[in-house]
Amino acid sequence: MPLPSGNANPSIQAADEPCWLVADDLALGVDIAKGGRIVSFSRSGQEVLTPASVHPENYGSTLWDSPQTTWNWPPRAALDNQPYAARTEGETLLLESGNDPCGLQFIKRFRPNPAARRIEIEYRIVNRGNTPMHVAPWEVTRTPGGLSFFPFQSARGLPPNDLHPAIKQDGICWYPFAPAVLEKGRKLFELGREGWLAHVASQSRMLFVKTFPVTPFASLAPGQGAVELWGHDEALYIELENHGPYVELDVGQSLSYPVCWYLEPLPPGLRLGVGEPGLVALARAIASR
């Protein structure tokens, strides 16, 4: 997957190639023909997302509607893996899905922000059907295993966790990837207290941070958590998942869910491990930009 060499402006390429957005040495690739899926996120050539060679269907990062009980499996094709219409508006790449038979349409906006060293994303879900619908946005990002962590808040009523070991210290939930216990897929459900989720893949010293609006327990879709981690069967990858509020959309109404992506190298000498305060301080500093 060749990286672009242009400036920070997005450029639409052939449908069988990623469309690249660049902010200095930060690059994000979007496959317009495959559901507007994010297929690459790298800094100085260091990739953090899993490619299709790891799993032919579940790779990169996508948007789903929540809760999953409304569609089970597979994901809705028009929203997840069919071509999107694309155009640019200044420095913003705008993608629009077709209308799914359920009545939903997804709109995705991607904008590089070199000053803040991030990619800004807005997901919009529109009710194009004939009746009101309840729905929540759900971003699902696949990355190689490593160390995941985020500020959490305890709440009664969340689904049970079976992703081990999950370690909670000083208000931070840590998950050090443990392939030996992933003979089957396992999930962790929590509330995200500060609106960020961080991950360092095992093969790199790059800190991946996603920021998103805080979703309280009362606003979650049934059976979901505001932050979820899922370890794939056979430990092929880890999913970093975040949910927005579960709302009723009248016909023609839409909801907006803004997300920012960051990728920063760890400073030399910073220890990579559970409970490391320097990691938390760095992630917080990045998330506050």
Q: What is the pTM of this model?
A: 0.95
pLDDT for position 6: 47
d(CA 78, CA 19): 19
Say which range, 11-20, 92-101, 135-144, 194-203, has the weakest mean pLDDT.
11-20
Q: Mean pLDDT across the stretch 249-277?
A: 97
Residue 5 above 80 pLDDT? Answer: no
CA 239 distance to own-chain centroid: 8
Q: pLDDT for 229-244, tens place per residue? A: 999 989 999 999 999 9
Higher pLDDT, 1 or 59: 59
| Averaged confidence pLDDT in the chain | 94
Residue 3 above 60 pLDDT? Answer: no
Structural domains in the chain?
19-287 (2.70.98.10)
Q: How many CB atoms lie within 10 A of CB 176?
A: 16
Q: Mean pLDDT across the stretch 183-194?
A: 95
d(CA 140, CA 125): 15
Indicate the pLDDT class of residue 14, thresholds 50, 70 and 90. Answer: low
pLDDT for position 17: 80
pLDDT for position 9: 65
Q: pLDDT for 202-258, tens place per residue? A: 889 999 999 999 999 999 999 999 999 999 989 999 999 999 999 999 999 999 999
Q: In percent, how much of the chain has pLDDT > 70?
A: 95
Q: Mean pLDDT across the stretch 259-276?
A: 97
Q: pLDDT for 24-66, tens place per residue? A: 999 999 999 999 999 999 999 999 999 999 999 999 999 999 9
Q: pLDDT for 154-188, tens place per residue? A: 899 999 999 999 999 999 999 999 999 999 999 99
Higher pLDDT, 1 or 105: 105
